[in-house]
Structures are given as C-alpha cells and as structure tokens.
Amino acid sequence: MCLMSNLQIETTRFGTVSVDGDRVLEFPSGLLGFAHATRWVLLQPDEEGCFYWFQSCDQEDLAFVVTDPQYWVPDFEAIIRREQLEELGANQIEDAQVFVIVNRYQNTLTANLQGPLVVGTASRRGMQLVLAEKRWTTRHVIVELEAANATRTA
C-alpha cells in the first residue's frame, strides 16, 4: 500500500520500505497482465548495480527485476510514436528512461526486449510498449549463468 508524501510501501520481499513520494512512477494503464497496478517505485539494491527492483505500490507481492537494455544490448532501440511521447510528457526518446523486465530462464538471465517499460523522466509517467519489430524477443539472453558460475569457481 502506498501512502502519498512520504511513502511506506509494504512488500513481501523487503518488508516495509520508506520512499520519497516524488519517486513514484505512474503507469496509468498498468503493465500487460497487471492493469490494476498503476503505481511503482524503482528500488536499487546497491549503488554500483545494473539491476533494480520495479516494485508495485498497489500489490505488495508484485515486483520485477529490471535493467537498462543499453547496458546489455547497445544497439537496442525502442520505437515510440509521437502520441506516446506526449503521454509521457516527453518531446523525444532522450527525455525518457527505458527499462526491460529480466527473468531467469533455465540457466540464463533473459530480458524482455519486446515489451520495454518507458518512463518520462520529468513527468514520472510510464507505459509498457509492445514492439512489433521481430529482431527483439521476450527472452533475449543477457547472462549465461553456468558460464558465470564456472568463472567464479575457477
């Protein structure tokens, strides 16, 4: 549950988290499959990390790991229409931040490049896009976990 001004967010993963109210991201249409969850916050586990928790303010057990796709796929490009930019309060894509949801699939970490999350940096409004371009998939491998484990033990 989110309480405006200084937020106390109840989460199943982190307990009660205190967040400044101006850090809330509004997703008026929610996410695919989660239309009811319209308020979110980004929780950064550590200062140096490239992964964040995208925690719902509306449902305490709803959170996704997200990352900036440019970190993993430098040529990734989210095509966004002018009216979508306007909804985000942005003039151009550079006025927005793009994130992708990360999942563990078998022995890999994958990123959903076909359904990026785009947030207007000034407005804090966001939306999930559905990209039609076939070169991006919902399970783009970003980390091979077996290779990472082998490196750690060597």
The pLDDT score that the predictor gives to residue 53 is: 96
The pLDDT score that the predictor gives to residue 154 is: 47
Q: DSSP state, 46?
A: S
CA distances 16 to 40, 52, 88, Å, are: 15, 17, 29
The pLDDT score that the predictor gives to residue 146 is: 73
- What is the distance between the alpha carbons of residues 52 and 147, in angstroms, rounded to a whole number? 22
- What is the distance between the alpha carbons of residues 2 and 10, in angstroms, rounded to a whole number? 8
- What is the distance between the alpha carbons of residues 130 and 105, in angstroms, rounded to a whole number? 21
CA distances 108 to 70, 142, 146, Å, are: 18, 7, 8
Residues paired with 105 in a beta bridge = 108
Which residue in this structure is represented by tokens 């894509």?
A: 93
- DSSP helix/strand/coil, 142: strand
Rg (CA), the chain: 16
The pLDDT score that the predictor gives to residue 3 is: 43
pTM (two decimals) = 0.87
Which residue in this structure is represented by tokens 């929610």?
A: 30
Domain spans of the chain, in order of start: 6-153
The pLDDT score that the predictor gives to residue 142 is: 92
Per residue of the chain (154 residues), give pLDDT as tens: 444 578 889 999 989 999 998 999 999 999 999 999 999 999 988 777 899 999 999 999 999 999 999 999 999 999 899 999 999 999 888 899 999 999 999 999 999 999 999 999 999 999 999 999 889 999 999 999 875 555 544 4
14-17 contacts, C-beta under 8 A, 24 or more apart: 14/43, 14/53, 14/55, 17/41, 17/43, 17/55
The pLDDT score that the predictor gives to residue 153 is: 46
Of the options 3.90.1150.10, 3.40.228.10, 3.90.550.10, 2.30.290.10, the CATH number for the domain spanning 6-153: 2.30.290.10
